[in-house]
Amino acid sequence: MKKTSFQMLEGKIVLWLRDRVCEDADQLLSSDQFRKFLHRCLGDIQTKNSKLMGVFGGSTITDKDEEKLIATLKFLTNLPAEHVVKLVEGSDVFFKDKSLFNALVEHIYNYWRHFQRLIVSQSDSDNVDLKPNTTFNRTIEHLTTLIRNTYREIQVNITGKYPRIYRQVSAGAEIAAITKLKNLDIPENYKQKLQDIGIIRQVLLYPPMIFNSKTNKRTGFYEEVKENPFEKLNLNPEKWLCYPAMVGSLLILVYFSTDEFELNFAMCNLFEMATGPDLKRKPDAMMFFGVDSKDIPEELRLKSYFYDDKKNDLLIGIVPDDDSFGYFGYVKKLVLTLHNIRMMKIGKLPFHGACFQLKLANTPPKTVLVMGDTGAGKSETLEAFRSIASKEIEDITIIADDMGSLSISEKGEVMACGTEIGAFVRLDDLQPGYAFGQIDRAVLMNANQVNARVVIPVTTYETIMLGHKVDYVLYANNYDPIPDGEIAIRRVNDVEKALDIFRSGRVMSKGTTTTTGIVQTYFANVFGPHQYQELHEVLAKKFFDTFYANQVFVGEMLTQLGVEGSERNGPLNAARDLLKLIKG
């Protein structure tokens, strides 16, 4: 079991806890963690030859200066400057320019807050699977208050002035997690390497989480390799965590390096966390995000890929530790690729699309499945329904925002289930103001760049797993303008023609990947069906025949999301036309 440790990475801090955090300001400023942090902060000031060097009265900051500063700050948490200068020998140099000294304290505080901050508490208790750990919650809240109040008291005692406006910013951890070691139901050769890595059992997020990832687009698809990459992995338990994700009905263990913790904790808004009973079953897949290049064959170091361990009936996904993969899309899409492959293996048809149920006044609820590639307008049309939620729409139930699976019930009806409880959507394609209305629970990524994204929870796990009979199946066509006199919905009466449309997977690229112009992918789904086309063809024919046998409405929906000038109104018009169609 890990002991308390402190890691400072590039722009990130990870604090591993075994015991309680500091109780008061004296313990905080005396801690090894604070000394390590302060040394780096002051080193940065010296390297930049900042004007704040004037606080120390020289061109260098020595170890003795650091110790003197810490002693001074400790006294300043309780006493005004005129008393402290008499108690700490040599501290008078700090108070020659109180305004500059106050600016240094402000800089240290802001330097701390500019880091992405994670606290991991390692638990031995079995109760963590049964109920929330309220003691842990209070501990994290206490740390936030302690850091903020320590900063404020020091500034008051330097300046002699009390602030009149207090901003209750997040000064402790942005993310905090409880982990526990688990005896997982996995093959022995896997267990030997994974048994000392903590499984996340509870998470505290302090939204909005706002960060820029190392890249803001995903490219390509996931290749299958013939040799098990897990055999070459060397995972340091001091740097790895596991998020046990329920992806639809599947248990997928997502192992990730803390070097990219903020990307991976965004999964909390996207995938349900597995419960204690869930973890007693055998996982369907495992994914490893941030694998050291030395553990990867040279020819695969710039690729993300998967392995089908048929012997153990287990899928393994790998994403290398390379800046080109520093994007949440690589986390999400590999998880969903593994899900889709597994679903095809058990006879279910995965889909890339949005699925939702509309309940209109005086009308039975109708379930709509909209398939299409990234940027086709699936999620955007769904969001458009929110903006036109007139008195006619009693309820909108989201079943799948991006991926899901279809099965055939005993009654011969096609039923849809989802995979995600959240949405990973482009800010530009949401209705104005919508994302900011959800900011209190959002994860915002690359907000100042092309393809800015937000991850927000949109539904519940119970809802996506309920199983809903499909009434409408539409292909999201974002490249064709709507001809004069026609509506955005086109019915296709021939099953083979429908299969051709869905199989072609045409879409006008929206800049969410590295592709441009109109592109085609098999069933608009490079996440499993592309790699297993032979198996998918059999399933697609079976399910589309069932659609037509049951007189399900199958056709195209013209979202016009890729038509210049129609990016916002296109999905809105499509939503309105679909609403009219359902009303009859």
What would the pLDDT profile of 204-223 be if each residue is shown by its tens digit? 998 888 888 888 888 878 99
Cis peptide bond upstream of 208, omega within 30: yes
Residue 416 clears pLDDT 60, i.e. is over it? yes
Q: What is the CATH number of domain 197-345?
A: 3.40.449
The label of the residue with tokens 């929110």 reads 386
Domain 349-421+458-583 belongs in CATH node 3.40.50.12240: no
Token representation of residue 280? 């007693």
Residue 118 clears pLDDT 60, i.e. is over it? yes
The label of the residue with tokens 């006294």 reads 75
Token representation of residue 111? 């330097």
The C-alpha atoms of residue 240 and residue 217 are separated, in whole angstroms, by 25
- H helix or E strand, kind and range, residue 314: strand 314-320
What would the pLDDT profile of 309-364 be if each residue is shown by its tens digit? 999 999 999 999 999 999 999 999 999 999 999 999 999 999 999 999 999 888 89
SS (H, E, C) 279-339: HHCCCCEEEEEEECHHHCCHHHCCCCEEEEECCCCEEEEEEECCHHHCCHHHHHHHHHHHH
Cβ neighbours of 71 (radius 10 Å): 18
Confidence band for 258, pLDDT divided at 50, 70 and 90: very high
Q: Would you give the distance in Å from CA 245 to the centre of its chain? A: 12
What percent of the chain has a predicted confidence (pLDDT) above 90? Answer: 69
The identity of residue 443, as a single letter, is V
**Cβ atoms of residues 77 and 154 within 8 Å:** yes
The C-alpha atoms of residue 458 and residue 451 are separated, in whole angstroms, by 20
The C-alpha atoms of residue 350 and residue 499 are separated, in whole angstroms, by 15
Q: Which of the two residues, 450 and 465, has the higher pLDDT score?
A: 465
Confidence band for 429, pLDDT divided at 50, 70 and 90: low
Confidence band for 395, pLDDT divided at 50, 70 and 90: confident
Q: Would you give the distance in Å from CA 256 to the centre of its chain? A: 12
**Cβ atoms of residues 218 and 526 within 8 Å:** no
Residue 1, pLDDT score: 41
- The 10 Å CB-count burial string (b at 16+, else e) for 37-65 is bbeebbeebbeeeeebbebbeeeebeeeb
The identity of residue 235, as a single letter, is L
The C-alpha atoms of residue 65 and residue 50 are separated, in whole angstroms, by 16
The C-alpha atoms of residue 354 and residue 79 are separated, in whole angstroms, by 60
The C-alpha atoms of residue 532 and residue 540 are separated, in whole angstroms, by 12
What residue spans define the domains of the chain? 5-159, 197-345, 349-421+458-583
